Amino acid sequence: MNTLTTRPVFYWLWTGIVLISLMIIIGGITRLTDSGLSMSDWNLIMGSIPPMNETDWQQTFERYKEFPQYQQLNSGMSLEEFKDIYFWEYLHRVLGRVIGIVFLIPFGYFWTKGYFDSRLLKRMFILLGLGALQGAMGWIMVKSGLVNVPYVSHYRLAVHFMLAFVLIGFCLWYALDLKNRFIQVLQKSTLTKWLSLIGILFIIQLIYGAFTAGLDAGYIYNTFPKMSGQWIPPTFAALDPFLLNLVENPGTVQWIHRINGTLLLISIVIFWWKAAVQQSKNKWLQAMSGSLLTIILLQYLVGVLTLVNHVPISLGVLHQGIAILFWIIFLTIAHRLK
């Protein structure tokens, strides 16, 4: 591939990164406003058209009343209140369709014009498969809250959330491969081991962040650093068998999210210090490791503020947005150290 074909593909992949990031943000708002179950049908084409008049709105609202969220949680909700929650879920779904169009149309053009070599074409099919899987997982997640219990499965929520980060990761890695094709990779060092540890801890943190959101665990134990005056929450082992507490007990899930976040912060401090000592002549790595440290400090602070303020939407969404920025910086460093 030459520069004339590489550059458009590079910018196209970055467009995907931006749109998927926006999708995560809107998804976060959808979750925090309990809007995700406001649309009880999945229709790829007709689902792109919102209610156009009062009759349409009333029919859509009556359809919503047939499901557990209205019957058990929102009984007596007005039509205007329903329109508010419908908006966020509708916007979330429409943006998903936009992402599909933004991927498929340029993909078809680049393919027919010979912009892809065989290796890159295979990678694009991987992105296509992941995108389709993400859309399907979104509906599978919503369906879990339409029967009996008016809450989506936090397991399915975590898979849906993680797939979005996987998509960002693949888009970014492929884009960096195009941009850095002729840039010399830094010599391997112990930094790669620490970066691997950071990656593992961050993935765990994402999963438990999704669990925390899915179980509404952020609305309990709203003090820091202790939980109800204790270092370990009183409900830590409330479920039987014990292992169930690690994934289904809101208090324990929040505790794990706190502890893992602290370990992640410590690991990044060590990585930053090693980068400053071992790569003292590499200004790029020093700057990037410093950025990673700054981002995680900000993320930690915002996480604490989100908790003690009982998860306001603004802070909750900011917490997610910083995680996306962290992921991008982390992968950029990892790509150079690969």
Q: Indicate the pLDDT class of residue 34, thresholds 50, 70 and 90.
A: confident
Whole-number Cα distances in Å, 204 to 17, 145, 210: 21, 25, 10
How much is the pLDDT for 186?
53
Backbone phi, psi, residue 245, to 5° = -60, -30
The pair of three-digit structure tokens given for residue 235, joined into one six-digit string: 């409900």
Backbone phi, psi, residue 280, to 5° = -60, -25
Distance CA 172, CA 165 (A): 10
Query: For 286-335, how does the pLDDT look when each residue is reduced to its tens digit (9 = 90+)?
Result: 899 999 999 999 999 999 999 999 999 999 999 999 999 999 999 999 99
| Whether the Cβ atoms of residue 213 and residue 30 lie closer than 8 Å to each other | no
| Whether the Cβ atoms of residue 260 and residue 254 lie closer than 8 Å to each other | no
How much is the pLDDT for 320?
96
**Cross-strand bridge partners of residue 110:** none
Give 243's DSSP letter.
G
List Cβ neighbours of 152 (8 Å cut-off, separation of 6 or more): 36, 37, 141, 142, 144, 145, 214
How much is the pLDDT for 3?
61
| Whether the Cβ atoms of residue 36 and residue 91 lie closer than 8 Å to each other | no
List Cβ neighbours of 214 (8 Å cut-off, separation of 6 or more): 151, 152, 153, 154, 155, 157, 158
Neighbours of 221 (CB within 10 A): 20
Query: For 2-18, how does the pLDDT look when each residue is reduced to its tens digit (9 = 90+)?
Result: 566 688 999 999 999 99
Q: Indicate the pLDDT class of residue 183, thresholds 50, 70 and 90.
A: very low
Give 185's DSSP letter.
P
